[in-house]
């Protein structure tokens, strides 16, 4: 046996839904799980289940039934991290949480709002990691947040939502929660009056949220080194090559206190910022300990939902800022479309094609914002877009959950306003 490791994850969560004035599906979860991996003859045997460590390792070893080429680098020193929050959610009475949700819900009231939903979440994840090289890591991280959503009805039905999710305690709600809800109400009113979008190839100014989704979906997944090993990314074998305009820098930084924060990854490697693209040159992929051994590079991006097998994931991924103000970008676009907010996206790293959907937009006419549009999506080819991009001068992050191989992990995506040329489509 070349290698084994043991992970123990304890997770406690509280989820509350305030739907149309009623708390529905209030839910408390507490789980404790163990995961075991064994590397033998270059082949992985894996097991998860609540058994003794010895039995877990034996069961994983029994699954290592083949021969392969996998190898692994050491994790480093490991360590211990316990997040200190200003206001522990556990110390706040559940009635206070419900009261806050009810107050925020009031901000959503309007004649056109037919349905509202506010989701409150808190979670504490405790990870213990140990491997046969003597690495030991432990962390305790608290995450808190809220999602605010409303459905409006006029001649059409529309919905709009915003979320605040952070590695933080209850103090996250001290600032911005009410503003978020009033923004949802106002924006929904605009959406109900918005027109259908144009379609075709055009100049597009995206806001930081949408720029972040592009960076995550279209580029970030393509630099995950497991995709490189699979031969399933357009960026395989292109380290050192120019893959984007010289203005483009892209980073992944799990040490930022955004939703994708972690102090150690799920292989016990201390988190650090990774420079993926610098001045348009592809500098590195994102690595697990296995992909780092095979391709060279720094591990630290192996993450797992619960005790599922750790795979290469992003954390807080963002594009660096440029020099343009938003007004300048709109003026540069001259005629086209301004798109903002994200309803999610998807990419195929092997082909480089991506698709994502904006929450709202405006026509750009003669260098100025004109009438609003709704249900707009954007698609294109990652590398073509990045060859010709102009970047704004302020970065913002948007939190979310990223799905890959059936596992969800918390992430944040960020970037500045940006001007690109892309294919736009929308409702009928």
Residue 251 burial (CB count, 10 A) = 20
Among the candidate windows 166-174, 270-278, 327-335, 340-348, which touches another protein by CB under 8 A?
340-348
Residue given tokens 């930084």 in the structure block: 253
Q: Does 345 bind another protein (CB under 8 A)?
A: yes
Distance (Å, rounded) from C-alpha 359 to C-alpha 160?
7
Q: Find the binder of another protein among 58, 79, 88, 94 (CB under 8 A).
A: 94
Distance (Å, rounded) from C-alpha 68 to C-alpha 76?
25
H/E run at residue 394: none
Q: CB nearer to another protein: give 326 or 347.
A: 347
Q: Does 54 bind another protein (CB under 8 A)?
A: no
Q: Find the binder of another protein among 2, 76, 110, 115 (CB under 8 A).
A: 115
Region 141-160 residues binding another protein, contact defined as CB under 8 A? 151, 153, 156-159
- Kindly determine how many residues on this chain lie close enough to bind another protein according to the rule CB under 8 A: 79
Q: CB nearer to another protein: give 98 or 180.
A: 98
Q: Does 111 bind another protein (CB under 8 A)?
A: no
Distance (Å, rounded) from C-alpha 305 to C-alpha 92?
27
Region 169-208 residues binding another protein, contact defined as CB under 8 A? 199-200
Distance (Å, rounded) from C-alpha 362 to C-alpha 374?
8
Q: Does 63 bind another protein (CB under 8 A)?
A: yes
DSSP state of 387: H
Q: Find the binder of another protein among 58, 74, 309, 396 (CB under 8 A).
A: 309
Among the candidate windows 167-175, 346-354, 365-373, 391-399, which touches another protein by CB under 8 A?
346-354
Nearest distance from C-beta of residue 69 to another protein, angstroms = 7
Q: Does 379 bind another protein (CB under 8 A)?
A: yes
H/E run at residue 242: none
Nearest distance from C-beta of residue 375 to another protein, angstroms = 4
Contact map string, positions 11 to 50, toward another protein, x by CB under 8 A:
---x-x--xxxxxxxxxxxxxx----------xxxxxxxx
Residue given tokens 């970047």 in the structure block: 391
Burial of 383 (0-12, 13-18, 19+ CB in 10 A): middle
Q: Report CA torsion sign: 227, 247, 249, 417.
A: negative
Nearest distance from C-beta of residue 191 to another protein, angstroms = 10
Among the candidate windows 104-112, 240-248, 312-320, 349-357, which touches another protein by CB under 8 A?
349-357
Contact 351, 234 (CB under 8 A): yes
Nearest partner of 163 among 387, 410, 417, judged by Cα: 410
- Token output for 146: 């809220």
H/E run at residue 187: helix 177-192
- Token output for 310: 């750790």
Nearest distance from C-beta of residue 64 to another protein, angstroms = 7
Q: Find the binder of another protein among 88, 182, 245, 355 (CB under 8 A).
A: 355
Q: CB nearer to another protein: give 25 or 84.
A: 25
Strands (E), 245-375: 250-252, 274-278, 281-282, 302-303, 311-312, 316-319, 336-348, 353-365, 368-373
Q: CB nearer to another protein: give 131 or 253.
A: 131
Q: Does 130 bind another protein (CB under 8 A)?
A: no
Q: Find the binder of another protein among 263, 299, 310, 352 (CB under 8 A).
A: 352
Q: CB nearer to another protein: give 29 or 327.
A: 29
Q: Find the binder of another protein among 210, 223, 229, 319 (CB under 8 A).
A: 229
Q: Report CA torsion sign: 39, 44, 45, 51.
A: positive
Q: Find the binder of another protein among 354, 360, 397, 417 (CB under 8 A).
A: 354
Region 385-414 residues binding another protein, contact defined as CB under 8 A? none
Cα dihedral: 211, 215, 219, 221 (round 10): -130
Contact map string, positions 267 to 306, toward another protein, x by CB under 8 A:
----------------------------------------
Burial readout 195-207 (b: 16 or more C-beta within 10 A, e: otherwise): eebeeeebbbbbb
Q: Does 112 bind another protein (CB under 8 A)?
A: no
Q: Find the binder of another protein among 2, 58, 70, 239 (CB under 8 A).
A: 70
Region 232-261 residues binding another protein, contact defined as CB under 8 A? 232, 234
What DSSP letter does each residue of 279-317 carry, written as one string? Answer: TTEE---BB-HHHHHHH-S-B--EE-STTSPPEE--SEE
């Amino acid at each position: 046996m070349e290698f084994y490791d043991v992970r123990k994850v304890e997770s406690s969560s509280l989820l509350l839904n305030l739907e149309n004035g009623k708390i529905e599906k209030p839910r408390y979860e507490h789980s404790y799980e163990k995961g075991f991996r064994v590397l033998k003859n270059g082949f992985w045997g894996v097991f998860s289940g609540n058994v003794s460590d010895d039995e877990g390792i034996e069961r994983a070893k029994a699954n290592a039934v083949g021969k392969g080429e996998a190898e692994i680098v050491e994790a480093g020193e490991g360590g211990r991290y316990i997040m200190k929050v200003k206001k522990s959610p556990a110390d706040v009475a559940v009635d206070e949480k419900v009261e806050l949700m009810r107050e925020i819900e009031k901000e959503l009231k309007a004649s056109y709002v037919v349905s509202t939903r506010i989701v409150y979440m808190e979670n504490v994840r405790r990870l213990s990691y140990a491997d046969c090289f003597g690495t030991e890591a432990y962390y305790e991280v608290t995450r808190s947040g809220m999602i605010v959503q409303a459905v409006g009805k006029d001649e059409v039905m529309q919905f709009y939502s915003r979320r605040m999710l952070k590695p933080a305690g209850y103090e996250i709600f001290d600032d911005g929660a009410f503003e978020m809800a009033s923004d949802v109400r106002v924006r929904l009113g605009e959406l109900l009056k918005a027109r259908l979008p144009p379609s075709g190839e055009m100049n597009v100014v995206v806001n930081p949220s949408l720029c972040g989704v592009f960076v995550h979906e279209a580029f970030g997944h393509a630099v995950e080194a497991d995709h490189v090993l699979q031969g399933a990314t357009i960026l395989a074998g292109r380290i050192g090559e120019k893959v984007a305009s010289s203005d483009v820098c892209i980073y992944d930084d799990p040490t930022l206190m955004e939703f994708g924060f972690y102090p150690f990854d799920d292989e016990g490697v201390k988190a650090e910022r990774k420079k993926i693209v610098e001045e348009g040159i592809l500098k590195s992929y994102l690595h697990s300990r296995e992909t780092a051994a095979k391709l060279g590079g720094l591990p630290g991006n192996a993450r797992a939902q619960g005790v599922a097998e750790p795979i290469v994931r992003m954390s807080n991924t963002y594009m660096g800022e440029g020099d343009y103000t938003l007004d300048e970008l709109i003026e540069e676009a001259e005629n086209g479309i301004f798109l903002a907010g994200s309803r999610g996206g998807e990419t195929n790293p092997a082909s480089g094609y991506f698709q994502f959907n904006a929450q709202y937009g405006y026509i750009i006419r003669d260098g100025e914002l004109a009438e609003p549009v709704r249900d707009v999506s954007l698609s294109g080819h990652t590398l073509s877009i990045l060859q010709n991009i102009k970047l704004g001068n302020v970065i913002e992050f948007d939190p979310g959950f990223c799905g890959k191989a059936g596992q969800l992990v918390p992430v944040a995506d960020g970037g500045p306003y940006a001007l690109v040329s892309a294919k736009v489509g929308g409702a009928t």
